[in-house]
């Protein structure tokens, strides 16, 4: 491709609303352009990268035996009513609309309902199972605060797959096959990533695993072991129960704490460490109006863990101050587990404590030297807190450390959540109708483009791995408009490389200084740069620079195309 016939739309200035590197560089490099909040046009350079990401995903999905289909972006509302999610998604994320006949539709943020409708229509016998349908399709989620460019857009492209099974053993097999597919995809893109245990969220189901590209700009915190492969989203990571304290129980004291309503202020007033205090959080319950959650003072409640407890209402709701005063008799800030008339659920770490500080259930008073069994009782003990760095790894190997990650893939075992609600059945070997089990496997295609840049960039621009770079080589002739020899040599190298199937861009733009062309090449992140100039032609050489390593050298023109064909083949297969 010749740059004079191509849209190269680089910018010198960074857009004011671009906060992360991928957003800044995709705009500056002329890969995408903002059309509306969270909605982007893909320009030619960006579309080349996007298509390469899609191709890798498609190749790995096809190799796994999955079958590609295409489902509409616009979905009838009645399917969502049938699954029970029409009302669930009434929080703004689901963009709802009506056609001229006043029939409800939505722009699909996901396709569980549509694919289940396909399955119940097209699958009749157990002999057709297992089967895994996938698509690469546009999605729309009406994010309240789209940001970070492609990392949290409203419109995006996603690969989603849905498998159907007769039993859980078959579902397990496909689930693990998709785990391998996702690992293959990310390895081929040369990304540093971690599969992590995760919560199933609004989609539902049982087992769930996220695939995170590690990057400082990631919104998710991953906890992983220093000595094993264990990794989990911080929301899912288990906090191991510590050993019960065997310290001698001291005498209970009631101490006035005027004005001290927070853990920090109580600790400062009493001159104790926050780790020796507990905080009591009052939430709505299922059987009881209120439930007390007891957490060590220096720990944080994990809402997802808490709302999974049978005693706690879901979604988690904090109690109103008036409710607390009416039932407990004091305001928040002075509450403790001693003598409460509501269910008390203690976190494992809090229950292992002795001689701790807590509210006395009297305004502006606290107890010191509280001990379980003697001064307070817990109705149940659960894992209720976020893990912290240095906690023991749940698998017993090493301790936990944190890294930031960008979620680019998520696999679920849905079970019968959708197939049962929508009556998706097949006949078993005895002619009996059996509800199919389902799996769901999503991978963000446009998000992957951004995630790659978050790992592969420097202060000059993008640094694409060769397998997904828009072009593999860029040729820059120096002052070709003044030197027919330079122009001819550059064109000959360009044609020779194209003849060997190398994806090469010849920057033959007139009116652009060499420095500007070099800057554009670095900004666009093309892996290999060849500079053709009169000085080099005198010795039959060209200047070469590697975008990833920064290494440069002079290379002979003779055999140049074969030399780079071998290099690129190695890089594509590494």
Confidence of residue 17 (pLDDT cuts 50, 70, 90): confident
| pLDDT greater than 70 at residue 16 | yes
358-385 pLDDT tens trace:
999 999 999 999 999 999 999 999 999 9
In the chain, domain spans = 46-236+401-454, 253-382, 471-573
189-208 pLDDT tens trace:
999 999 998 765 544 455 78
Residue 202, pLDDT score = 47
Quick one: tokens of 451? 């995630």
User: Who wins on pLDDT, 309 or 87?
Assistant: 309
- Round to whole Å and give the CA distance between 69 and 111: 12
388-398 pLDDT tens trace:
999 999 999 99
Residue 92, pLDDT score = 65
Determine what percent of the chain is predicted with pLDDT higher than 70. Answer: 98
| pLDDT greater than 70 at residue 123 | yes
End-to-end alpha carbon distance in the chain: 26
| pLDDT greater than 50 at residue 567 | yes
Residues 440-459, mean pLDDT to the nearest whole number: 97
Residue 15, pLDDT score = 86
Residues 4-30, mean pLDDT to the nearest whole number: 93
> pTM for this structure?
0.88
Backbone angles phi, psi at 203, to 5 degrees: -70, -30
pLDDT, the chain, mean: 94
CATH 3.40.50.800 fits 471-573, yes or no: yes
| Superfamily of domain covering 253-382 | YbaK/aminoacyl-tRNA synthetase-associated domain (3.90.960.10)
Residue 201, pLDDT score = 54
User: Who wins on pLDDT, 569 or 16?
Assistant: 569
Residue 143, pLDDT score = 87
Residues 6+ apart with CB under 8 A from 467: 52, 56, 188, 189, 190, 571, 572
| Superfamily of domain covering 46-236+401-454 | Bira Bifunctional Protein; Domain 2 (3.30.930.10)
Q: What is the DSSP letter of 224?
A: E
Determine what percent of the chain is predicted with pLDDT higher than 90. Answer: 90
Cα distances from 500 to residues 496, 505, 565, 571, in angstroms, run 7, 14, 7, 16
Residue 90, pLDDT score = 65
Residue 444, pLDDT score = 97
Residues 480-498, mean pLDDT to the nearest whole number: 94
Tally the C-alpha atoms within 13 A of residue 559's C-alpha that lie toward its C-beta: 5
Residues 74-101, mean pLDDT to the nearest whole number: 89
Confidence of residue 411 (pLDDT cuts 50, 70, 90): very high
> Please, what sign has the CA dihedral across residues 120, 122, 128, 134?
negative
H helical segments located in 506-559: 514-524, 534-537
Residue 316, pLDDT score = 95
């Amino acid at each position: 491709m010749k740059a004079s016939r191509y849209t190269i739309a680089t910018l010198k200035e960074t857009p004011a609303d671009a906060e992360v590197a991928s957003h800044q560089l995709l705009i500056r490099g002329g890969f995408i352009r903002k059309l509306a909040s969270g909605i982007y046009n893909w320009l030619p350079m960006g579309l080349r990268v996007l298509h390469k990401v899609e191709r890798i995903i498609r190749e790995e999905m096809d190799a796994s035996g999955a079958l590609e289909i295409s489902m509409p972006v616009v979905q009838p509302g009645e399917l969502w009513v049938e699954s029970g999610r029409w009302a669930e998604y009434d929080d703004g994320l689901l963009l709802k609309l009506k056609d001229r006949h006043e029939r409800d539709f939505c722009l699909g943020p996901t396709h569980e309902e549509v694919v289940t409708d396909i399955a119940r229509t097209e699958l009749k016998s157990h002999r057709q199972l297992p089967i895994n349908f996938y698509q690469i399709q546009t999605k729309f989620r009406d994010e309240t605060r789209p940001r970070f460019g492609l990392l949290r857009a409203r419109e995006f492209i996603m690969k989603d797959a849905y498998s159907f099974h007769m039993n859980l053993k078959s579902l397990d097999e496909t689930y693990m096959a998709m785990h391998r597919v996702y690992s293959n995809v990310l390895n081929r893109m040369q990304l540093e990533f971690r599969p992590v245990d995760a919560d199933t969220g609004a989609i539902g189901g049982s087992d769930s695993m996220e695939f995170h590209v590690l990057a400082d700009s990631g919104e998710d915190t991953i906890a992983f072991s220093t000595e094993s492969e264990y990794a989990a989203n911080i929301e899912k990571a288990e906090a191991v129960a510590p050993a019960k304290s065997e310290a001698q129980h001291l005498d209970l004291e009631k101490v006035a704490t005027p004005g001290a309503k927070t853990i920090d202020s109580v600790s400062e007033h009493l001159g104790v460490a926050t780790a020796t205090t507990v905080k009591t959080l009052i939430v709505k319950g299922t059987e009881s109006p209120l439930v007390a959650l007891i957490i060590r003072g220096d720990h944080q409640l994990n809402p997802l863990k808490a709302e999974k407890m049978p005693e706690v209402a879901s979604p988690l709701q904090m109690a109103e101050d008036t409710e607390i005063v009416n039932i407990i008799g004091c305001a928040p800030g002075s509450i403790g587990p001693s003598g409460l008339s509501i269910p008390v659920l203690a976190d494992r770490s809090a229950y292992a404590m002795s001689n701790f500080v807590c509210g006395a259930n009297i305004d502006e008073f606290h107890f010191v030297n509280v001990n379980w069994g003697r001064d307070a009782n817990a109705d149940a003990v659960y894992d209720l807190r976020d893990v912290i760095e240095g906690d023991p790894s749940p698998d017993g190997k090493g301790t936990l450390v944190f890294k930031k990650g960008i979620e680019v893939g998520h696999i679920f075992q849905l079970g019968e959540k959708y197939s049962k609600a929508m009556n998706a059945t097949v006949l078993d070997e005895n002619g009996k109708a059996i509800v199919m089990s389902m799996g769901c496997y999503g991978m963000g295609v446009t998000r992957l483009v951004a995630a790659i840049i978050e790992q592969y960039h420097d202060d000059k621009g993008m640094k694409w791995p060769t397998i997904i770079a828009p072009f593999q080589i860029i040729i820059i002739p120096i002052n070709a408009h003044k030197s027919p020899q330079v122009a001819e040599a550059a064109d000959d190298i360009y044609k020779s490389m194209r003849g060997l199937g190398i994806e090469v861009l010849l920057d033959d733009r007139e009116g652009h200084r060499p420095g500007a062309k070099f800057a554009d090449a670095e900004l666009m992140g093309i892996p290999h740069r060849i500079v053709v100039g009169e000085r080099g032609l005198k010795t039959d050489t060209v200047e070469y620079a590697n975008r990833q390593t920064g290494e440069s050298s002079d290379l002979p023109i003779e055999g140049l195309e074969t030399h780079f064909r071998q290099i690129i083949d190695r890089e594509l297969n590494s």
